[in-house]
Amino acid sequence: MNKGIKSFGGYLLAKEFDTIQRVPDLPQELGIMASGSILSLRGEKRISVFARDIDAVRFEIGRVVPDDINHLITQTRGDIKSPEFLNYEFNEENISEHFTEVREFGQKELGKAQYTTFDFSRYLKTEKETNRGMFFLKVESWDQKNKKTTGREINA
C-alpha cells in the first residue's frame, strides 16, 4: 500500500506498507442440504449431503421399530429433530434396526464442494408396512483406509 492512503476517520498512512500473509486452508466441511426433511412415500426418498475436503462419508441409519415409537416419545426430551434420551442405558440402539453404508467421493479438488445423496428407498422396500417409519441418520467423515471417523459428524 502506498504512502498517503486515507483510512476511515481521516488517518493517513505514514509510510509504504508491504507484507505477505499466509492464508489458512479452507476447513473440512460436512452438511445435510435439507436437514429435518420429511420424505414422502411417493417420489424420491433421498437426502443430499455436501462435503468439502473429505474423502469419504459413512452413513449410520437406525430405523425405529414401529412398535417402539412410544419408547422414543416417553424416553426422550427436546424436539423431534434432536431427541435427547433421559436414561444413559437406553438410547436409539434399543429401539431401532441399524445399517451402515460408506460412500467414497471421487477425485477431490481442494476447497471445492462435493455432493452425494443417501437413498432411503432400499430401507423402505418391503412387503410389510411395519418397516416404514422414522429413522435416525448420522453422517460422518470417514477414513476408508484406517476404517475410522475423521471427526466431522451430523445427526439428523
Q: What is the pLDDT of residues 6-19, one digit of tens each?
A: 888 888 989 999 99
**156 CB contacts (<8 Å, ≥6 apart)?**
32, 35, 36, 47, 81, 136, 137, 138, 139
Residue 89: exposed, middle, or buried by beta-carbon count in 10 A (0-12, 13-18, 19+)?
exposed
- Percentage of the chain beyond pLDDT 70 is 90
pTM for this prediction: 0.73
Q: How many CB atoms within 10 Å of residue 40?
A: 8
Residue 149: exposed, middle, or buried by beta-carbon count in 10 A (0-12, 13-18, 19+)?
middle
* Cell numbers standing for residue 22: 499466509
Q: What is the pLDDT of residues 94-151, one digit of tens each?
A: 888 889 999 998 777 788 889 998 988 888 765 555 556 788 889 999 998 899 988 8
